[in-house]
Structure 1
Amino acid sequence: MKLGVRTWAGTARDEFIQLTEGVMAAEDLDDPVDGAVRSKVERISPHHEIVTVAAPAGVHRIGLVLPGHPQQQFIGLGARHGLHVDQSGRSLQLGADRAYTGPDCPPDMLELGGIPQGDYAPVPWLLSSRGWGAWVETEGHGARFELGDEVVLSTRRDAGPLKVHLFTHATPHARLRAFLKLTGLPPVLPEWAYGHWKSRDVYNHETEAQADFDGYREHDLPLDAIVLDSPWATQYNTWEFNPHQFPDAAGMIERWRADGVRTVVWVAPWVNLDSDDGQYPPDAESARLHRAPAPNYEPEMFVRDGEGEPLVAKWWMGTGSPVDFTSPRAEEWWREQAKNVLKLGVQGIKADDGEGWYIPDDAQFADGTIGAQSAWGHGLKYRRSMQRALDEVHPGEGVLFGRPGWTGQQAVGVTWGGDQPSDFWSLRTLVAATLTAAASGFSNWSHDVGGYLGEKLVARCPKELLLRWVQFGCFTPLMHAHGRFEQEAWTYDEETLEVYRAHVLLHERLVPYVRAAAATAARTGLPIVRPGALIGHRDWAVADAYGYGPALWVAPVLENGAREVEVDLPKGDWIATWDLSEHAGGGTVVAPAPLDRIPVWVRRGAIVVTYPAAHVARGLGDTPESERPLEATLWGEPPCGRAAARLVDGTVVRFRRGQWSVSEDREVHFLTRAM
């Protein structure tokens, strides 16, 4: 591959929009030059090279130039919230590459490129259809990817030397695996991390949280966790329950836990001087607490500004300072506060925020780096601190649920796709983001069923969209229901409740199948959600269907009013789950999609292992995994007359020459061609 180097003088003038957490990228650049640079190429293996380029003072941006191709396609770069999975033809800056251009975008904003939104879960990693992959090893602001007639991968000089890993392994999956072996393979999480969680934007009082729990029980909906989102503490972020909002937090947690439901608490890596313009319950005492500085504000524990003082900034829940996780003392101080809450019985942490956009270039970290070099590494250190707290209090059982992205974050906990409005455009872009995130190594993935921001930001998710979203959520590793408005299924109508219940129940039943796929991801990097690029699909960048584990092909319904979808099936033979019809892959089929159904096919000859519906009707509960009853379904005649499925606990279910067998002493119900 012929490579070149290019440099530019200039200045950056990115603008951060605090209200929407969007960054508007802007630079003033001189014409590119072949300036004096120092470059080095290291051959690590036959399929892995590292190109390092250092530039002299006066250079603003350093770029590595690769050959383009008119038919070249690209996937990766983390969660790209757009209508397309293929990123070819784009010029984008990570951390500043998301804008709402959907149906409710004002025309004047549309002319400017849309409403800037938080660029959640970016990763400086790229897969090309021309047989290579690239990881730009940087944590600084300004990583850019020009994917046009020529390919330019560039960073700002202030971030340090440009360092690009090039991978030329034979398949996209092999290239992804090589990247993840360097940066971290996704873990297999506890069962409840793959279940169904419920949350609201604000629980104004403990009684509202209890109402969600009671609603699930009253309406026979499976439930595995309740997330106490912002706010729940006395201020942002004290790690102390607000007694006016949760007068018996310990009792509530214990009561839920006794019925098989875990508690997760929200946090952001800030401690506030003023939380008055954040969210807080409506009672006078809670308002009084949030007007005061947080009592755990310790100036020596925070990132410093350019003058060496604690960095004080306005973020979306007030004004405060970000914790410096490069300081061992500060990390321990933060982690020990978290552990005090976890010891009450809380088993999960929703680690919100942590993106680099709040860290200015001149910010100073305790490890000697500045924001220009390491702003986007802040989120991984934050995640690791929270995961360490969980491991120390709940070893093997705690779950981290995080929002930020960048290199390495795929290896810690679950990631969710950020905030979406409740419209079909946003659902379509979320599916595309799910696929690009998967191609970047995110296997443990989730999103807010129904959309977090609501319809036009003022109303709850419409019924049809909610049902299509819950169907997509059914075939996502963690199914998480969360929003600003009343979106509980039982508040709509009986049809909504029935369809919602059926898909939550199916999601719970699929947990052993999904965790087996998670184990594959932990070994090989092949994620649970499998975009076409990773499995040899003829449409390298298909944006409206995906593999789910080794045996399922899923086609979410992404248009309002649609009652059928046209789907491009991968190669092989497939069985439709709704009528058991058989279809040859490698071409398109039209599938019926009534309001109560998402089209799903099973690869012919596959064994899909699930839990019986009755066993998980209330949720996963606490039965040890190795003691759970199983259902094993064989979908059609397997090649050579035999098939097998291995579960995370080591159980192997086999079918050979008409006979079933199981490696362990388990209660297993065997079925053929029926789910």
Structure 2
Amino acid sequence: MVFVKKLLKIVGYSTVVLLILAYFLFVLPFWGIPFNAQRHGNPPLTPAWALECWLWEDDKNTSAYEDSLLAGYAQHDIPVRTLLIDSPWSLRYNDFEVDTLRYPKPAQWFKGLEEKGYRVVLWMTSMVDSYGKDTRLTASQDFYQNAKQRGYLVGNGNEIKWWKGKGGFIDYANPAARNWWQGLQKNVLQYGIDGWKLDGTATLFRQQIGFLPFLYQKTHSGWMSTRQYMDWYYQEEYANGLRHNPEFVTLGRAMDRWFHPEGFAPIDASPVNWVGDQKHHWRSPEALLSNDKEKDIALDGVQGFESAIQSILRSAKMGYNVIGSDIAGFSGDSIPPRLYIRWAQFSTFCGLFLNGGHGERALWKRSAQELDIIRRFSWLHTELVPYMYSYVVSAHRGGTRLQQPTEGKYHYMFGDHLLVAPIYQDQLDNEVTLPAGKWRYWFNDQELLEGNKKFTKRFPLEEFPVYIKEGSIIPLRIERAYTGIGDSTSRNYLTWLVYPAGSNEFSIYDPQNQTPTTLRVAQHATSLTLSLKGKHLPHILAIHAIKAPKTVTLDGKIITFRFEARKQKLYLKTDTYSIGNYQIDY
């Protein structure tokens, strides 16, 4: 009995010691627990351009191919605002010198992209490599030794292997190292680039003691943990970018499976976020049981589409705001057509629409169905930019974020007005849980649905489970007819999609100075009033109505209107106005 008590005592003490060691050697330096609340502030003011569609590829990595890809997207009328250029684009990692064999005449090329209206984001990490796996200059000992000898690397130049080679970490705590590093970056910042993709090398920050990783290294200012170095990386690169360009962004990781439950980047230093690399896979019991090679490739979803959805919703719950994933996945076998479609539809209702990775991204070389559907949803995402930007401003000011997880399998609110119930597996049927209230289906908004209900519905590939809360006001910028809400005559007008119910209002913000324009809507027994306050904008009011009104006045004067009974829509198009008060009488 005495022996057992002694044994239990030894086990107890040993457990305590092991827990203490685990905390100080892993939990604290790697995750920062429990001090992460102080790391995160409100999301930055993400520029509106970053909410439009992004495009990238990771198979050719040349300006010639990227020019052809952009030309094809323009020819087939698929919207692209941002070109993300991934590695390798530099001579060495990370010397910020453009490889002119891959990207000849870089000054001219970057200027040409800017003149065509594109934004450009370049990949980078915090590594100074002595060896680069796929750069033109694979052996870069001189580059590494120069930084090491000048004391610009942490841990006296301690090297680690990473997925692109071998090198040391730049010491952000050293002012001289920062000046040197930022001087190198001017090589490309001078071309007017708009952002960095900050890949995740900072999470590898460590030194090895035998076979054990020690998650601290000596820097210019003293010992620093992995978690602390990660924060320096994201914060310093974002801050320096903003000094060169007030609309600069960094694309950083938010949540990526279990690796960093506290979030990779500090929220207030992460204007745009993606959730790591997934495969071109999704859940498909039919495909798993079949040898038919025409079936969409399938796994259990853990590292594919479902994993991306899970990470995005966890990121949103933590407080990240503009989040997305590589549409159709980053890598794997050929991209399954139905997966590409569903992933693009889901990304339409995320802040980041990131179309890229390995695999064929020239949609006109894929199926006609993929081209048609993905183009339509790309335009829908583009139309939603004013709506999304309102939640950029709101989140930055401490208010509602863009995505808010809610009841139902992977359900979330996209802003306050849209419920999204993603189809996450290869089937047309999906279960939807409507919250309390009244709702309308985005692709057939004539029918009013009672909320607080769960049901299963079939969604053809041309549609996606998105529901509009009754009483919603949704601002849109429409340039094409693909989505059926407006057409080319809507260009240069702000379209307000209005579903009257009680009294509601919505504010949009000028991306340059956040000047608001607010639309207030009030429903009465036999009339409807709408009033605009703030910056005057040419606009179209697309108001849900079951019958045509008797009269419509603007600032007391009778105006013409258009009513489409089939769509149950009343359209009011206005270029200028004095006050902005509408009265609609039935």
CA distance in 2, matches of 1:392, 1:192: 18
Give the 3 Å change call, closer, same or farther, for CA 163–497 of structure 1 in structure 2. Answer: closer
- Aligned identity (percent) is 24
Q: Deviations over 1:453-511 (max 9, x none)?
A: 12xxxx22110000010011111101011212223322212111010100110000001
Give the 3 Å change call, closer, same or farther, for CA 573–445 of structure 1 in structure 2. Answer: same
Residue 387 of structure 1 aligns to which amino acid in structure 2? Y
Within-5 A mapping of 1:486-565: 486-524=360-398, 526-532=400-406, 539=407, 542-560=408-426, 562-565=427-430
1:351 equivalenced with 2:222 (yes/no): no
Q: Deviations over 1:72-118 (max 9, x none)?
A: xxxxxxxxxxxxxxxxxxxxx9xxxxxxxxxxxxxxxxxxxxxxxxx
* 2:442 alignment counterpart: 577
CA contact (8 A) 1:313 1:319 kept: yes
TM-score, normalized by length of structure 2? 0.77
Q: Deviations over 1:206-246 (max 9, x none)?
A: 21111111111111011101111000001111101011111
* 2:530 alignment counterpart: 660
Residue 474 of structure 2 aligns to which amino acid in structure 1? V
Residue 552 of structure 1 aligns to which amino acid in structure 2? L
* Equivalent of 1:436 in 306, 311, 314: 314
Residue 142 of structure 1 aligns to which amino acid in structure 2? F
1:264 equivalenced with 2:121 (yes/no): yes
* 1:403 alignment counterpart: 253
Give the 3 Å change call, closer, same or farther, for CA 159–223 of structure 1 in structure 2. Answer: closer
CA distance in 2, matches of 1:266, 1:497: 27
CA contact (8 A) 1:203 1:229 kept: no
The structural deviation recorded for 1:190 is 0.8
* 2:340 alignment counterpart: 466
* Equivalent of 1:295 in 123, 143, 147: 143
SS in 2 for 1:231: coil
* Equivalent of 2:494 in 626, 630, 634: 630
The structural deviation recorded for 1:615 is 10
> Higher mean Cα deviation, 328-337 or 474-483?
328-337
SS in 2 for 1:575: strand
* 2:298 alignment counterpart: none
CA distance in 2, matches of 1:616, 1:403: 32
Unaligned stretches of 5+ in structure 1? 1-29, 36-57, 64-92, 94-137, 144-154, 166-178, 281-285, 533-538, 618-626
Q: Deviations over 1:377-401 (max 9, x none)?
A: 2222111222122211112x11111
* 1:228 alignment counterpart: 85
* Equivalent of 1:195 in 52, 56, 69: 52
The structural deviation recorded for 1:33 is 4.6
CA distance in 1, matches of 2:142, 2:414: 44
CA distance in 1, matches of 2:371, 2:429: 22
The structural deviation recorded for 1:326 is 2.2
CA contact (8 A) 1:509 1:616 kept: no
CA distance in 1, matches of 2:20, 2:86: 41
CA distance in 1, matches of 2:31, 2:19: 9
CA contact (8 A) 1:644 1:653 kept: yes
CA distance in 2, matches of 1:294, 1:557: 51
* Equivalent of 1:672 in 543, 561, 581: 543
Give the 3 Å change call, closer, same or farther, for CA 474–320 of structure 1 in structure 2. Answer: same
Within-5 A mapping of 1:96-495: 142-143=26-27, 155=28, 163=34, 179=37, 183-275=40-132, 278-280=133-135, 286=136, 289-293=137-141, 295=143, 297-299=146-148, 300-305=150-155, 309-360=156-207, 361=214, 362-370=216-224, 374-395=225-246, 397-403=247-253, 406=262, 409-412=266-269, 413-424=271-282, 425=301, 426-454=304-332, 459-495=333-369
CA contact (8 A) 1:237 1:271 kept: yes
CA distance in 2, matches of 1:652, 1:357: 47
CA distance in 2, matches of 1:393, 1:628: 30
Unaligned stretches of 5+ in structure 2? 1-9, 208-213, 255-259, 283-300, 484-490, 545-566, 570-586
Greater helix proportion: 2
* Equivalent of 1:645 in 502, 507, 511: 507
Q: Deviations over 1:242-280 (max 9, x none)?
A: 1111111111111111111111111011011111xx234
Residue 174 of structure 2 aligns to which amino acid in structure 1? S
TM-score, normalized by length of structure 1? 0.67
Aligned residues: 484
* Equivalent of 1:61 in 7, 10, 19: 19
Give the 3 Å change call, closer, same or farther, for CA 583–324 of structure 1 in structure 2. Answer: same
Residue 331 of structure 2 aligns to which amino acid in structure 1? L
> Higher mean Cα deviation, 200-209 or 565-574?
200-209
> Higher mean Cα deviation, 662-671 or 608-617?
608-617
Give the 3 Å change call, closer, same or farther, for CA 199–215 of structure 1 in structure 2. Answer: same
The structural deviation recorded for 1:587 is 2.1
CA distance in 1, matches of 2:353, 2:543: 27
Superposed CA RMSD: 2.8
Q: Deviations over 1:11-42 (max 9, x none)?
A: xxxxxxxxxxxxxxxxxxx844599xxxxxxx
The structural deviation recorded for 1:421 is 0.7
CA contact (8 A) 1:633 1:671 kept: yes
CA distance in 1, matches of 2:58, 2:151: 29
Q: Deviations over 1:344-378 (max 9, x none)?
A: 121111111234234232522222124xxx21222
CA distance in 1, matches of 2:313, 2:375: 26
SS in 2 for 1:238: coil
Give the 3 Å change call, closer, same or farther, for CA 350–615 of structure 1 in structure 2. Answer: farther
CA contact (8 A) 1:474 1:506 kept: yes
CA contact (8 A) 1:354 1:378 kept: no
CA distance in 2, matches of 1:578, 1:294: 60
CA contact (8 A) 1:631 1:671 kept: yes
CA distance in 1, matches of 2:498, 2:369: 31
Residue 449 of structure 2 aligns to which amino acid in structure 1? H
CA distance in 1, matches of 2:469, 2:109: 44
SS in 2 for 1:291: coil
Give the 3 Å change call, closer, same or farther, for CA 32–437 of structure 1 in structure 2. Answer: farther
Larger relative contact order (Cα-Cα within 8 Å, sequence gap ≥ 6)? 1
CA distance in 2, matches of 1:414, 1:193: 8
Q: Deviations over 1:518-549 (max 9, x none)?
A: 222112254211112xxxxxx3xx44211101
* 2:289 alignment counterpart: none
SS in 2 for 1:326: coil
